[in-house]
């Protein structure tokens, strides 16, 4: 990383800030780590370092609301430091860390530890989720009040669904009392047990155990009713089916406190990406039929989906070098988050402003964070990108420790040219 400067003027850039609707050519002045000024006609103050953006897009640093960091307990897969490298390369400056680590983030000291580990990198802000249940085991409730006081932004059991209805009802009620939401992995655990792919013709042809797509909608329907019952706020992560999205759309229209995100695999890939038992494409939830992928794309455009998250799940090579049914689920996504999202812009499905909104101020709002904006006085967390710059995803050459990308070989348009954290350039 370069040495921090007190002042830098980033000029000749397209300023794009969905939080304020700003979209114009101009410049942005950083002083002492915060955004001091921005606009079309900024002068050059004395003693300011000047950076020529050469017409590229300057937007807020991306906010990724679903990241598995590997710490504590899974450092052989990823560490906070290695994830920070990958995040910087992807234009991401804030990440929300899942709590289903070893041990789980069900202790206030661990919340504080993760926050400080993020600060130590100088590259990312880590916003930890608190475990909804002790050990993320879905049984005894965690100490919501203490976790929230320590800095937990919401409550979830991470990649494990809260399957018990009574437990989920209690979690929603408790979280509402602390002004927080419950983030659910929407998949009925009993229907999903032992499954490896989406149930259907492809699963039958490959001889793989299937998970019915309805497993997602069943849990979504239950939790919408529980949110209505308790007045709590439920957020559904990595939604992947049209049926679940229709339920969420209807619930929003009724005024239920419901929100959701999806991840790039669910709008860029379908189940055929499994190919000949390709374990890097084994994800949780599993890749879906093409009709579901198209439903996710439509929901990005119509506002049903509130945010896009990387759903970064680092896995060791040995986790994936197994028969498909036994291989671990999950794919890395930090470095590819922006590029794959921009594919929807290039195909005309969403605007560039909408894409950046889904990656910045929208997830920040859900998390109660002040990140994701170019407002004056805000920390200078910035992403400079060229929406047209072509590159190819090559496993083995991705930044970070883990390399298990479902997008291996994918040609993308849209590359990060520079990332700034609190005014310090950390990538590019």
For residue 160, the Cα-to-chain-centroid distance in whole angstroms is 17
Backbone dihedral region of 165: left (phi > 0), alpha (psi from -120 to 50 degrees) or beta?
alpha
CA neighbor of 184 nearest in space, from 226, 212, 150 = 226
Instruction: Say if residues 253 and 246 touch (Cβ distance below 8 Å).
Output: no
For residue 63, the Cα-to-chain-centroid distance in whole angstroms is 7
Q: What is the number of helices (H) and of strands (E) in the chain? A: 14, 19
**pLDDT, average across residues 286-310:** 98
- How far apart, in whole angstroms, are the C-alpha atoms of residue 35 and residue 33? 7
- pLDDT-derived band at 5 (thresholds 50, 70, 90) equals low
What confidence tens digit (pLDDT) does each residue in 81-117 have? 999 999 999 999 999 999 999 999 999 999 999 999 9
What confidence tens digit (pLDDT) does each residue in 148-186 have? 999 999 999 999 999 999 999 999 999 999 999 999 999
- How far apart, in whole angstroms, are the C-alpha atoms of residue 61 and residue 380? 8
User: Is the pLDDT score of 363 beyond 90?
Assistant: yes
- How far apart, in whole angstroms, are the C-alpha atoms of residue 428 and residue 418? 4
Question: Which residue out of 311, 319, 381, 408 is catalytically annotated?
Answer: 311
Instruction: Say if residues 381 and 361 touch (Cβ distance below 8 Å).
Output: no
**pLDDT, average across residues 230-250:** 98
User: Is the pLDDT score of 4 beyond 70?
Assistant: no
pLDDT > 90: percent of the chain? 97
Give CA torsion, residues 88, 239, 135, 163, to 10 deg: 180
> Secondary structure of 240-262 in the HEC alphabet?
CCHHHHHHHHHHHHCCCCEEEEE
- pLDDT-derived band at 41 (thresholds 50, 70, 90) equals confident
pLDDT, averaged across the chain: 96
What confidence tens digit (pLDDT) does each residue in 375-426 have? 999 999 999 999 999 999 999 999 999 999 999 999 999 999 999 999 999 9
Token pair 């114009």 in the structure block, residue: 24
- pLDDT-derived band at 1 (thresholds 50, 70, 90) equals very low
CA neighbor of 414 nearest in space, from 328, 363, 349, 355 = 355
Structural domains of the chain ordered from first start: 60-367 (3.20.20.140)
- pLDDT-derived band at 2 (thresholds 50, 70, 90) equals very low
311 is catalytic: yes
Q: Which two tokens stand for residue 428?
A: 């590019």
Q: Which two tokens stand for residue 261?
A: 């995100």
């Amino acid at each position: 990383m370069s040495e921090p400067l007190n002042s830098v003027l980033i000029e000749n850039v397209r300023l794009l800030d969905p939080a304020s609707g700003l979209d114009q050519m101009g410049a942005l002045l950083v002083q002492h780590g915060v955004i001091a000024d921005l606009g079309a006609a900024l002068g050059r103050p004395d003693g300011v370092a000047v950076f020529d953006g050469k017409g590229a897009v300057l937007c807020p640093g991306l906010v990724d609301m679903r990241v598995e960091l590997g710490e504590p307990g899974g450092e052989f897969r990823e560490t906070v430091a290695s994830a920070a490298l990958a995040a910087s390369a992807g234009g991401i400056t804030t990440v929300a860390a899942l709590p289903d680590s070893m041990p789980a983030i069900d202790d206030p000291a661990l919340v504080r530890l993760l926050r400080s580990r993020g600060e130590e990198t100088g590259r990312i802000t880590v916003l930890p989720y608190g475990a909804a249940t002790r050990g993320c085991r879905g049984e005894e409730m965690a100490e919501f009040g203490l976790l929230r006081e320590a800095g937990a932004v919401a409550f979830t059991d991470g990649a494990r669904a809260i399957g018990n209805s009574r437990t989920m009802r209690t979690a929603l009620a408790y979280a509402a009392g602390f002004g927080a939401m419950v983030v659910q992995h929407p998949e009925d655990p009993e229907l999903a047990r032992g499954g490896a792919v989406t149930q259907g013709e492809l699963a039958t042809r490959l001889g793989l155990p299937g998970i019915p797509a309805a497993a997602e909608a069943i849990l979504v329907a239950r939790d919408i009713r529980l949110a209505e019952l308790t007045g709590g706020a439920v957020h559904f992560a990595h939604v992947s089916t049209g049926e679940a999205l229709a339920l969420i759309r209807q619930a929003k229209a009724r005024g239920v406190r419901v929100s959701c995100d999806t991840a790039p695999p669910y709008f860029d890939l379908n189940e055929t990406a499994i190919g000949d038992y390709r374990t890097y494409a084994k994800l949780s939830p599993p890749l879906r039929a093409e009709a579901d992928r198209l439903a996710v794309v439509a929901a990005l455009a119509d506002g049903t989906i509130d945010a896009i998250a990387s759903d970064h799940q680092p896995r060791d090579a040995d986790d994936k070098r197994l028969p498909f049914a036994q291989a671990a689920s999950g794919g890395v996504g930090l470095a590819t988050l922006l590029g794959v999202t921009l594919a929807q812009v290039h195909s005309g499905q969403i605007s560039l402003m909408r894409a950046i909104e889904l990656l910045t101020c929208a997830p920040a709002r859900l998390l109660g964070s002040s990140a994701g904006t170019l407002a004056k006085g805000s920390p200078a967390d910035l992403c400079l990108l060229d929406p047209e710059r072509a590159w190819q995803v090559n496993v083995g050459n991705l930044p970070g420790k883990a390399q298990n990308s479902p997008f291996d070989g994918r040609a993308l348009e849209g590359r990060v040219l520079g990332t700034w954290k609190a005014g310090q350039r950390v990538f590019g």
